[in-house]
Amino acid sequence: MLQGARRTIMNFPFAYLGRSRTRSIGFLLCCLIRRLQFPRLLLLGVICHAVVCSLWRPGLAGSASLLHLYSNKSNPEQGYCEREVRLASSLDFWTLSSENLIAVLPIDPVKENYVRKVKNCVFSIAFPTPFKSRVHLVAVSKFGIWADQLGDGRAHLIGIYMNRQGEKWELQLKGSGKTPYSRNGDGRAVLRSSVREFLCSEAMYYLRIPTSRAASLVVSDDAVWRDQFYNGNVVKERGAVVLRVAKSWFRIGSLEILAHYGELDLLRMLLDFIIQEHFPSIDVKEPNRYLDFFSTVVSETAQLIALWMSVGFAHGVCNTDNFSLLSITIDYGPFGFMEAYNPDFVPNTSDDERRYKIGNQANIGMFNLNKLLQALNPLLDPRQKQLAAQILEGYPILYDTRFRELFKAKLGLLGKSKGDDDLIAFLLHLMEKTEADFTMTFRQLSEITQSQLQELSIPQQFWALKMISKHKLFPAWVSQYLLRLKSNVNDSDSERRKRMTTVNPRYVLKNWMVESAVQKAERNDFSEVHLLQQVLRRPFQKHSAAETAGYSSPTPSWAKDLRVSCSS
């Protein structure tokens, strides 16, 4: 997937939006939505309006505000642009620019948008392809609560957004049409995969896992043809676009392709740019900067994958072009949160070789880091190459250490004990043999009392623990666990349960949940998308609507054989 490693940047004539232009841009966005002027910019207008609503009117649901523009047919002319201008006047510090990227990094001199091998550049310029049919804003994320947070053959980088705190975020459209890197694709995304990406990137953020964010989701009535399971059954689906956001969309593949083609001057230029922009602790003038950069990426990648494992998340396609250089989760395709515990769990039915099974993610991480090292090697001297190889050799220890820390916290263990690793492995073995639900086993251990465990009296509501309790070795594990809890200094059972519920979510985005939401969305019922948005913002807190929907219950029988593929 090297060819997709270069990126597409949108040639937007209003590339810089500062104080002097906020009124005219607000007016433009209004007119784009209402009159379909400047069709090449229509999609951007619709989506950026959603961003504006959610960013600068935190008390107002951005989706409801924009949907009103479509649904109010009694007097469609009255007051629309006036309201937009009033909104725009508040955007005193809103800027969107691509100047920082294109001023430093070379652009493809070929302006035509056709599939080809592109060399000696980092970006190609292309216009998104607008939808031709009616569009509908499905959902918007509330950006105001951000705390600190690459592209492919169907993504357009709009520019860099800077908020009032001076933080920079790269805005990218996914599903916005063909690019020079589309290969045989049409550059579109469909509704089902776009709903999945929108919901999962937000779910991961609230699970406190480094991730890209989804700002908004737009669906159209345009026909997109897909063979979902590659079995010759091509069907018509609805096109959709996600506006997604990250500090950077550069990936391991972004460097790998330059090294592959021997574009070493450009490789050095891009590396220095990435280090200067995103690794402030590294001095870009230091001769060992690439070594320090590699060490940081190795450490943070180990941390990221350990976090994935702690919530039972399998990415689905862990190739080098889906691994961020900032060690955030990107490109949500055929992902899956493990339901019945199984280290061989593969969410992607296209992965016939089970290369990206959940139990192999740490190994794939090391494989990708080795590819990163190979890309860096031409820029390293012999001593630096040796040190870099030693850094990579330390990856398993970094991963194992973080994995152990996370799972000890999931079990409420304080301090250190010689048998902690065995205790964790013992539980996972019982879960595998009984096919217990991964998420709810740990959550129910967070809620059950020690006395209930001691008596092996498992109430019916703890259905996942009851499943494990059927194993003949469960009493032995309980005895070891309770004995270990006694070594927690100055701890009580209530404190233990309180502590564990802050790290063991009650709700994760299981495939059956998102499938239910997608099925409704296909009928223009976005209620479950919105419900999941609400629930997944507080995954550690009990939510009455989520309980009614069965989000903490066993997987329903209709969803036992759900399949997800790369086709999106």
Active site residues: 321
Whether 140 contacts 215, CB under 8 Å: yes
Cα distance between residue 183 and residue 110, in whole Å: 17
Cα distance between residue 313 and residue 345, in whole Å: 10
- Percent of residues in the chain assigned helix, strand, coil, to nearest 5: 45, 15, 40
The two three-digit tokens of residue 162, written as one number:
């800077």
- The SS3 assignment for 296 reads helix
Which one, of 211, 191, 190, 189, lies nearest residue 200 by Cα?
211
Cα distance between residue 566 and residue 568, in whole Å: 6
The two three-digit tokens of residue 298, written as one number:
């190795």
Non-local CB neighbours of 54 within 8 Å, separated by 6+ positions: 62, 140, 141, 142, 143, 144, 215, 216
Return the C-alpha torsion angle 43, 522, 516, 154, nearest 10.
Answer: -40
How big is the CA angle at 153 (ends 510 and 149), to the nearest 5 degrees? 55
Non-local CB neighbours of 276 within 8 Å, separated by 6+ positions: 284
Whether 198 contacts 181, CB under 8 Å: no
Q: What is the DSSP string of 216-232?
A: EEEEEEEEEEE-TTSSS
Beta bridge partners of 239: 190
The two three-digit tokens of residue 493, written as one number:
């059972």
| CA quadruple 254, 2, 161, 121: dihedral sign | positive
Cα distance between residue 175 and residue 154, in whole Å: 5
H or E, element range at 96: strand 95-97
Beta bridge partners of 211: 329
Return the C-alpha torsion angle 496, 201, 323, 342, nearest 10.
Answer: 50
Whether 97 contacts 83, CB under 8 Å: no
